[in-house]
Amino acid sequence: MYKIKKIDEGHLGLFATENVKEGTVILWLSTDSTYLPHPTRTSIQVGNLHLEHYEGGCTNHNCNPNAKVLGVMWGLDMNTHYIPFEAFAKSSKLNPVLVASKDILDGEEITFDYETTEEELAEPFQCRCHGKWIRGKST
């Protein structure tokens, strides 16, 4: 469904290897992950912890992304529900996933908006979308 490709010197990206329909889980971020108490350049904030996941760390920022990080919750109806983390306490233990927020075409880079997950980035940067500084939600 995806592969990691070199974008330019020192930068990797996650790219679709087939068409991905909106609502499809692209990555289960809780698999093969390490949780840290502080942000790094490649971590994804989940509640009050920072998750290091190789493919997740290769997923770049975009202000108009085609994916989003959500939590998985199994309901009393025995169905899977994808919930934004803001809907829960910071200490909630939901399983994080990267989900397609719109249809993604084969060969397209998979991106999400870092300011939807990160309170404060370890390394703020100017986005390639339009030059806005990406610092996190609280800055």
Residue 28 has pLDDT above 70, yes or no: yes
* Total domains present in the chain: 1
Q: Is residue 22 part of a domain?
A: yes
| C-beta neighbour count of 94 within 10 angstroms | 18
Beta strands 125-126 and 60-61 are unpaired
The pLDDT of residue 57 is 95
Q: Could you tell me the CATH number of the domain that includes residue 124?
A: 2.170.270.10
> pLDDT digits over 92-131, tens only?
667 899 999 999 999 999 999 999 999 999 999 999 888 8
Tell me how far CA of residue 50 lies from CA of 28, 54, 125, in angstroms: 15, 13, 18
> pLDDT digits over 54-103, tens only?
999 999 999 999 999 998 888 888 888 888 877 665 656 678 999 999 99
Q: Is residue 61 part of a domain?
A: yes
Q: Is residue 87 part of a domain?
A: yes
DSSP 94: P
Both tokens assigned to 46: 């989940």
Convert 24-91 into a string of H (helix), E (strand) and C (coil). CEEEECCCCCEEECCCCCCCEEECCEEEECHHHHCCEECCCCCEEEEEEEECCCCCEEEECHHHCCCC
Percent with pLDDT over 90 in the chain: 68
The pLDDT of residue 89 is 56
| C-beta neighbour count of 139 within 10 angstroms | 12
* Residue 41 and residue 118 in contact, taking contact as beta carbons nearer than 8 Å: no
Domain enclosing residue 6, as ranges:
2-134
The pLDDT of residue 90 is 63
> pLDDT digits over 33-53, tens only?
899 999 999 999 988 889 999
Q: Is residue 139 part of a domain?
A: no
Q: Is residue 81 part of a domain?
A: yes
